[in-house]
Amino acid sequence: MSETTTELSPPTDRDLPPAADVGVTVVEADADTTAGSHDTDMATIVELCKRRGLIFQSSEIYGGLRGAWDFGPLGAALKDNVKAAWRRAMVQLRDDVVALDASILMHPRVWEASGHVEGFTDPLVECTSCNRRYRADQMETNKAGEPYCPECGGTRFTAPRAFNLMFRTFVGPTEDTSAQVWLRPETAQAMFVDFAHVQLTSRQKIPFGIAQVGKSFRNEITPRNFIFRVREFEQMEMEFFVRPGSDEAWHDYWIAQRWNWYVGLGMRPQNLRIRPHAADELSHYAKATVDVEYRFPFAWSELEGIANRTDFDLRRHAEFSGKDLSYYDQDRDERYVPYVIEPAAGVDRSALAFLVDAYREETAVSASGKQERRTVLRLHHALAPVKVAVLPLSRNEQLVPTAREVNDVLKPRWMAQYDDAGSIGKRYRRQDEVGTPFCVTVDFQTVEEDRAVTVRDRDSMSQDRVAIDRLTAYLDERLRLG
């Protein structure tokens, strides 16, 4: 590894981010994490997700597998939309971030260098009565304040021991330590290992970032709270490489950017907060970390971590690999190991937070003037699994061909759904429950008189009569997809 300059000239405007203008809510590191009242509870969200096929237990016909969940047609679309919105904000709309799609399996030395083999552990205790295992730092307590086992009520546990959270497997025909590899517990390390090659081939100058969306695996002792804590999940991570000395300004910048992303996609600011990590809470690699927390029904909990990782990762991989991972700044004739700012979010957690935040139970006045009770997901249009539903008034043979025609016009442009099962009122309720922004109804007036359809807005429940040949332009003006 080549020598790096330790004394750098002061950062200039070229090194520093633009000023951020955002009103984030910052709380103390030791702030109370108990959630207040909410619009719904987790049982209601879980029931809705199963009933509408968004998210349900994996391998359910065999009794399920704890901590494993399947995303159905609408849930998969929601996840895809969350990832697409992240990629748009973090890569597509920026000139200083590039994408990576790295292998899940990596050389085992990667995880030695990163510290995961030695230090990626949770404290494990076991109930001496029923042998259920729990994280020692997350035990439930009874009225006397004593930890107890939720399974059998026992209060005697083994002494805590370290439990490594990484899943291990083997490459090739033998199953011994020489063939052992790990399922990655995070997507970040590939971006450090590939830093020099990506920087060279993308011709990026520091400051710049590498972004990745992908699966990660953690052998959680006690998966819980639906899809909040699971063993197999997706991450959206970005490593932003900066000049030493500019790292604190960039850390503040990315905190503001990530706050704006959630709020811009419709999340209510009162349900978000920024919580800095206390000194004794910081990871071994971090100079500073904050969590973007959401007020879930069960507690204020982490949506995303934004860390100043300093130059820890690049230096460690340079040391373990023997390769030079420093950066030569031609403009200044300086060489240094970049610092890294890391915004790291969970796809599953984000999808859950958007679902919870969008959930409403409302009394509304229908077009006929009646008071109606409805459940609606007020998802941002960009996140809604279905953008527009086409609903013939009935399955009458006069209506179906025109309704199919309308559906064929819409589906090349947006995710559209054709639905003719049940009364029109029930179909409106069904689309409200999965967050569809617009419903298009084809009736007898459409086919007999005006070649126009009725377009119903999910949020206002207002209805407009729109000519079929103007329908795409009408929806273009109203669908907020950016």
315-337 residues labelled b (16+ CB within 10 A) or e (exposed): bbbbeeeeebbbbebeeeeeebb
Q: What distance in Å separates the CA atoms of residue 264 and residue 309, rounded to the nearest whole number?
A: 27
Q: Pick the residue with more confidence: 56 or 365?
A: 56
Q: Does 375 or 139 have the greater pLDDT score?
A: 375
Query: What one-character-per-residue DSSP string does 15-51 give?
Result: TSPPPP-----B--TT--------SS-HHHHHHHHHH
Helix (H) or strand (E) holding 180: strand 180-182
Under a CB-based contact definition with an 8 Å cutoff, are residues 239 and 342 in contact?
Answer: yes
* Bond preceding residue 185 cis, omega within 30 of 0: no
Task: Give the integer Cα–Cα distance in Å for 336 and 333.
Answer: 10
Are the C-beta atoms of 103 and 94 separated by less than 8 Å?
no
- Alpha-carbon distances of 87 from 2, 52, 57, 134, 238, rounded to whole Å: 35, 27, 28, 36, 10
The SS3 of residue 60 is helix
- The radius of gyration of the chain's CA atoms, rounded to the nearest angstrom, is 26
> Domains along the chain?
42-114+165-355 (3.30.930.10), 121-164 (no CATH), 386-478 (3.40.50.800)
In the predicted structure, residue 257 carries a pLDDT above the cut 70: yes
pLDDT at 122 over 80: no
E strand or H helix at 195: helix 195-202
Name the average pLDDT for the chain.
92
Say which residues have a Cβ less than 8 Å from residue 96's Cβ, sequence separation at least 6.
204, 207, 208, 209
Which residues are within 8 A (CB) of 324 and not within 5 positions of it... i.e. 6 or more apart?
1, 2, 196, 318
Q: d(Cα 144, Cα 204) in Å, to the nearest integer?
A: 59
Tell me what pLDDT residue 414 has.
97
Position 22 scores a pLDDT of 58
Residues 216, 195: Cα–Cα separation, whole Å: 20
Q: What is the mean pLDDT of residues 417-441?
A: 95
Read off the pLDDT of residues 12-42 as tens digits, 9 standing for 90 and up.
Answer: 888 899 876 657 888 776 677 666 667 789 9
Residues 6+ apart with CB under 8 A from 159: 125
Cα of 52 vs its chain's centroid, Å: 21
CB contact burial 456-479 (16+ within 10 A = b; e otherwise): bebeebeeeebebeebbebbeeeb
What is the per-residue pLDDT across 465-482, written as a single tens digit (0 to 9) for each? Answer: 999 999 999 999 999 997
Q: Identity (one letter) of the amino acid at 317?
A: H
Strand order in the sheet with 288-295: 97-99, 208-217, 232-242, 339-346, 300-310, 288-295, 272-276
Q: Map residue 465 onto helix, strand or coil.
A: strand
Instruction: State how far the Cα of 357 lies from the Cα of 361, in Å rounded to an integer.
Output: 12
Phi-psi region of 149 (alpha: psi -120 to 50; beta: other; left: phi over 0): beta
The predicted-structure confidence for 49-100, as pLDDT tens digits, reads as follows 999 999 999 999 999 999 999 999 999 999 999 999 999 999 999 999 999 9
Q: Predicted confidence band at 2 (pLDDT cuts at 50, 70, 90)? A: very low
Q: Which residues face 449 on adjacent strands?
A: none
